[in-house]
Chain A
Amino acid sequence: MKDKLNILILEDVALDAELMEYEMRREKIDFVSLIVETEKDFTEALNDFNPDIILADHSLPTFDGLSALKITKKLSPKTPFIFVSGKIGEEFAVEVLKEGATDYVLKNNLSKLVPALQRAINETKEQSERKNVEHALKKRDEQLRLITDNMLDIVIQIDSSGSIHYLSPSVKTVLGYDPDDILGLKISELVKFVHPNDIDEVKNGFEQVFSENTSSIEYRCRNVNNEYIWLEAIGNALSTNSKNLKGAVFVIRNINDRKIAEKRLKQYHDELEKRVADRTAELETMNKELESFSYSVSHDLRAPLRRIDGFSQALLEDYGDKMDEQGLYYLNRMRIASQRMAQLIDDLLELSRLTRSNIQIEDVNLSFIAENIANELKTSNPKRNVQFIIEDNVLVKGDSRLLKILMENLLDNAWKFTSHKDESIINFGTKNDNGRLIYFIKDNGCGFNMDESEKIFKPFHRINSENEFPGSGIGLATVQRIVNKHGGDIWAQGNMENGSIFYFTLNPKGDENE
């Protein structure tokens, strides 16, 4: 507000005007005054001087206070208007107040002028402030409306009786309905748009808004084309300070795409699960078949061999004296062949058993296993000169039974393939390869051609002749299965006549440190 009050004085007697000014100055009113006495000057002053208050005499030579009041009400209705008159009749006072005058003061009692003036100004100020607040409220209301009118989500406001007070136009874009067609309805009538299966959900959600102040539901709603669209409604109760509910606001969002995606995802998931289940069942069947196959092999293939061997032996015992040396030799070869076949069957069965068995992880000391195997080998053939170099305390996690078979096979091989050497050295140890621990078994035996370094792990693959180094060709295949079962790798490095090194790693599941 400006500092000084603009006071327009309608007065033909200069002394009277001065008296008023004097009175105001005395009361420390800070003002600028303009004194006029004709209608023309008064009207101009209303526009140009822009008075904060008007003090008007009752009668003037060419003009009068009542006319001035009427002009003021027309041109500047908010400006307070106070009559300052020599004498004023009661009837006239009533009339001017009726016409909109703010107050009146008698000239012989000017001490009342300033209080009247201050009262008038305050009233005007209050009025103008109220107007401002109302204006601001209206503006905010319009802004809010602008926001809700332009939201993609549907906004519905209802009162406590369930009548719809507001519905955002987005109902047209989301569901295709004209907002005006719905605005007249009660919220309970909207149930007719809800999918029959979701009606309970919607009713519960609606009640929850009033019992718990908020709720969130997902349901299907029929659009103008009679298609069901998935919607999500979030409701919030509107309440006064007291417990009287004023109503509620729902924000409703189209979640159809999300629902379809979710449904599809669930379908994929279910399909995948079904496929896994089918595959598992298939695998189980295959495993069963494999087991029954192994069983047949174990039982049915061994039986004829046993008979060949048994009758050969019977022939040897009962009719041996009737055969020459060559005949006896053939018979012996038959027996050796059948026994070898039995060994092959046993080894193959062992390999198949390994493939099927589950591993059990525990702490295993490979050094300890290696020492035991080395001692057995040395005892089995004390004449050989073999030096075992075994690293101490090689501790791993794995299946102790399988790791023992692994070490047996590798050390047996090393023992076997160094048999032509006068001095054999077999070495078990570890080395660190960029943080990965690699185990190795190294010998100085006959080695192998690197071209064959991958083939040697295939079942029945043999590098050497049976006469030179007997074996079934299953050992390394078994070793590879065991290493694979422990999540590791195995590879070999051979050097003709300089020996071989077998490397392997172990990383059984559930153990990060290995």
Chain B
Amino acid sequence: MSKDLKTILLVEDDPDDVNLTLRALNKSNINQEIVVANDGLEAIEYLFGEGKYADRDSSKIPELILLDLKLPKMDGIEVLKKLRSNDKTRTATVIILTSSKETEDIVECYKLCANSYIQKPVDFNLFLETVWILGRYWLNCNENVSSGG
């Protein structure tokens, strides 16, 4: 297993949120290719090379997975559970990016070894700042499994 250093997977169903998140990523000078999955199932298909992503080389996993919790077909918690129970994706960097700040959700995500949990702030400038920090930290500062071996 190795990480595809050129890709970020954004799992988000709302087109407005996709739009704004892409804008924020772009503004933060993050140049990786952004793949958008519109529901939990699509995210799984992409990561494991199934369905319409059957042609994809599933040995490569994205450098970063930005995962919303409230998703159609399969919710974020379920996606995380699947990733963590498969050797291929066990060590993927998963950042929960959601509106919810419910304690239950936070606890559940960390139990399932989410790398980080971020509540999207309403103020877009704050959101921008958050995405910028996120990019700097996870893409530039953090040593992850693929580059370490």
Contacts and interface: CB of A to CB of B under 8 A. Distances in A.
Interface of A: 294-295, 298-300, 302-303, 305-307, 309-314, 335, 338-339, 342, 349
A313 B122 contact: no
Interface SS of chain A: helix, strand, loop or mixed? helix
A305 B122 CA distance: 6
Contact of A310 (B20, B69, B70, B98): B20
Contact of B20 (A314, A335, A339, A342): A314
A310 B127 contact: yes
Contact of A298 (B16, B100, B123, B125): B100
A307 B101 contact: no
Interface in B111-143: 120-125, 127-128
A411 B16 CA distance: 40
Given A313-B124, A338-B122, A307 B20 contact: yes
Interface of B: 14, 16-17, 20, 23, 69-70, 98-102, 120-125, 127-128
A305 B70 CA distance: 16
B101 A306 contact: no
B26 to A, nearest CB: 11
Contacts of A305: 122
Given A295-B100, A314-B20, A314-B23, A342 B122 contact: yes
B125 A306 contact: no
A310 B130 CA distance: 13
A312 to B, nearest CB: 7
Contacts of B124: 306, 309-310, 312-314, 335
Interface SS of chain B: helix, strand, loop or mixed? loop
B120 A306 contact: yes
23 contacts: A294-B102, A295-B100, A295-B102, A298-B99, A298-B100, A299-B70, A299-B98, A300-B99, A302-B122, A303-B17, A303-B99, A305-B122, A306-B20, A307-B17, A309-B124, A310-B20, A310-B127, A311-B16, A311-B20, A314-B20, A338-B122, A342-B122, A349-B101
Contacts of A303: 14, 17, 99
A7 B100 CA distance: 125
A309 B14 CA distance: 15
B123 A339 contact: yes
A339 B124 CA distance: 10
Nearest to B101: A298
Contacts of B14: 303, 307
Contacts of A302: 99, 120, 122
A339 B102 contact: no
A396 B41 CA distance: 52
B125 A313 contact: yes
Contact of A309 (B98, B101, B102, B123): B123
B102 A306 contact: no
Nearest to A340: B122
Contacts of B100: 295, 298-299
Nearest to A305: B122
Nearest to B70: A299
A220 B119 CA distance: 70
A309 B122 contact: yes
Nearest to A307: B16
A313 B120 CA distance: 15
Return the 10 tightest CB-CB contacts between A and B, nearest first: A342-B122, A313-B124, A310-B20, A310-B124, A307-B16, A299-B99, A302-B99, A309-B124, A299-B100, A306-B122
A305 B124 CA distance: 10
A307 B70 CA distance: 16
A306 B70 contact: no
A305 B121 CA distance: 10
B68 to A, nearest CB: 10
B99 A306 contact: yes
A192 B124 CA distance: 90
A310 B101 CA distance: 19
A311 B15 CA distance: 12
B108 to A, nearest CB: 12
Nearest to B100: A299
A101 B80 CA distance: 125
Contacts of A349: 101
B25 to A, nearest CB: 13
A313 B19 CA distance: 13
A84 to B, nearest CB: 124
Given A299-B98, A307-B14, 8 more contacts: A295-B100, A302-B120, A303-B14, A305-B122, A307-B20, A309-B124, A313-B128, A314-B124
Contacts of B127: 306, 310
Contacts of A294: 102
Nearest to A308: B122
B109 to A, nearest CB: 14
Contacts of B17: 303, 306-307
A309 B127 CA distance: 10
Contacts of B102: 294-295, 298
Nearest to B24: A310
Contacts of A307: 14, 16-17, 20
A339 B122 contact: yes
B17 to A, nearest CB: 7
Contacts of A342: 122-123
Nearest to B125: A313
A303 B17 CA distance: 8
A493 B22 CA distance: 53
Nearest to A343: B122
Contacts of A300: 99
Most-contacted residue by chain B among A300, A310, A349 (CB, 10 A): A310
Nearest to A301: B99
B14 to A, nearest CB: 7
A249 to B, nearest CB: 70
Contacts of A295: 100, 102
Contacts of B121: 306
A335 B102 CA distance: 25
B121 to A, nearest CB: 8
